[in-house]
Amino acid sequence: MVKELTVAVVGATGAVGQEMLKGLEERNFPITKLKALAAPEEAGTLVRFRGEDHVVEAAAPESFEGCQIALFAAGEVVRWLGPEAVKRGAVVVDNSNTFRMDPTVPLIVPEVNPEDIRNHQGIIANPNCSTIIMVVALKPLHDAARIKRVVVSTYQAVSGAGVAGLKELEVQSKQLLAEEKIKPEVFQHQIGFNLIPHIDVFEENGYTKEELKMLYETRKIMHEPEMKVSATAVRVPVFRSHSESINIETEKKLTAAEARQILSRAPGIIVQDDPGQNKYPMPVFTAHTDEVFVGRIREDLSIENGLNFWVAADQIRKGAAINTIQIAEILVRENLV
């Protein structure tokens, strides 16, 4: 095992980057030296880690000299900086969409396909947040009864659009209560007290890229290239934590009680399923946590081998920062850096 680790966090000043720093500290990740990197205009600002201020540097190829791990939360810049980090000996774990469908790059959710990490060639991709949340819940059920088809509708918090999304919901909520005029800037329409069935751009087939990510990424992560997945992605006026309504059809019959038991034993899942006591997952309670919460588990009355359930999870933590750190933890534990 590597005794001393120099870790770069690229995008250290952003929402996900900040959550990475917090998660690395909380999980006592074995960092000897931290390199906080960001865009040139952020250079010189300070970020806090383990009780100390760290000066942010402009991310450049030479920034990765001596690094063993580089965690990216900075979007498309990874396309050119990622390979530069690899050339200098770092393993890159990337949060962007850049490498996810590259057949040479593992797409990892540690609770689902940790073994794929061993196939990395220097870069490992972190999936889309909604995909991560869904496949954590799908995997144990798939292992038990083999899933044939998935229909999912997402209820995605505005924090998925970054700090600007959070601010827009806050501002619009105040404006609406004051009966002031709304002018959308971040989202396509008013998000305050509204739902928008439109995340990312539309493709010719009528689906958005966000919806198609859930199809293609799920197939890759679960090694099921023919799995049928139909998604509808919706932006909702919630500050933090995504929710999903999921319907599955399985080859083998699973009762709701069996599914509940399987999920309660699965890693990374907390079952909250007591409708009689009004207990079920909700964003307000799952925000700032690292697990995927599952509830409303019930049999689909329209088909023989079907289940419906509801999930919620913090998309900034499990859907991004923490999943990235979990990947890095496996790299260290298995001496892959």
Look at phi and psi of residue 193 and say left if phi exceeds 0, alpha if psi is from -120 to 50, else beta.
left
Domains of the chain listed by start with CATH number: 6-126+320-333 (3.40.50.720), 131-315 (3.30.360.10)
Measured CA to CA, the distance from residue 295 to residue 229 in angstroms comes to 20
CB atoms within 10 A of CB 175: 15
Phi, psi angle pair for 99, to nearest 5°: -110, 5
Q: What is the pLDDT along the chain (337 residues), one digit of tens a residue?
A: 456 799 999 999 999 999 999 999 999 999 999 999 999 999 999 999 999 999 999 999 999 999 999 999 988 899 999 999 999 999 999 999 999 999 999 999 999 999 999 999 999 999 999 999 999 999 999 999 999 999 999 999 999 998 899 999 999 999 999 999 999 999 999 999 999 999 999 999 999 999 999 999 999 999 999 999 999 999 999 999 999 999 999 999 999 999 999 999 999 999 999 999 999 999 999 999 999 999 999 999 999 999 999 999 999 999 999 999 999 999 999 999 9
Count of H helices and E strands in the chain? 8, 14
* Residue 254: exposure state from Cβ atoms within 10 A (0-12, 13-18, ≥19): buried
Phi, psi angle pair for 310, to nearest 5°: -125, 135
The answer to whether 261 and 280 have CB atoms below 8 angstroms apart is no
Residues 117-149: b if buried by 16+ CB within 10 A, e if exposed = beebebbbbbbbbbbbbbbbbbbbbbebbebbe
Q: Parallel, antiparallel, or unpaired for β 91-94 and 69-72?
A: parallel
pLDDT reported for residue 3: 62
Look at phi and psi of residue 229 and say left if phi exceeds 0, alpha if psi is from -120 to 50, else beta.
beta
Going through the chain in order, the beta strands assigned E by DSSP cover 6-10, 33-38, 46-49, 52-55, 57-58, 69-72, 91-94, 123-125, 147-156, 228-235, 242-250, 269-271, 292-299, 306-313
Q: Residue 333 in 3-state DSSP?
A: helix
Q: Would you give the distance in Å from CA 167 to the centre of its chain?
A: 21
pTM of the model: 0.96
pLDDT reported for residue 76: 87
Q: Which residues form the catalytic set?
A: 129, 242
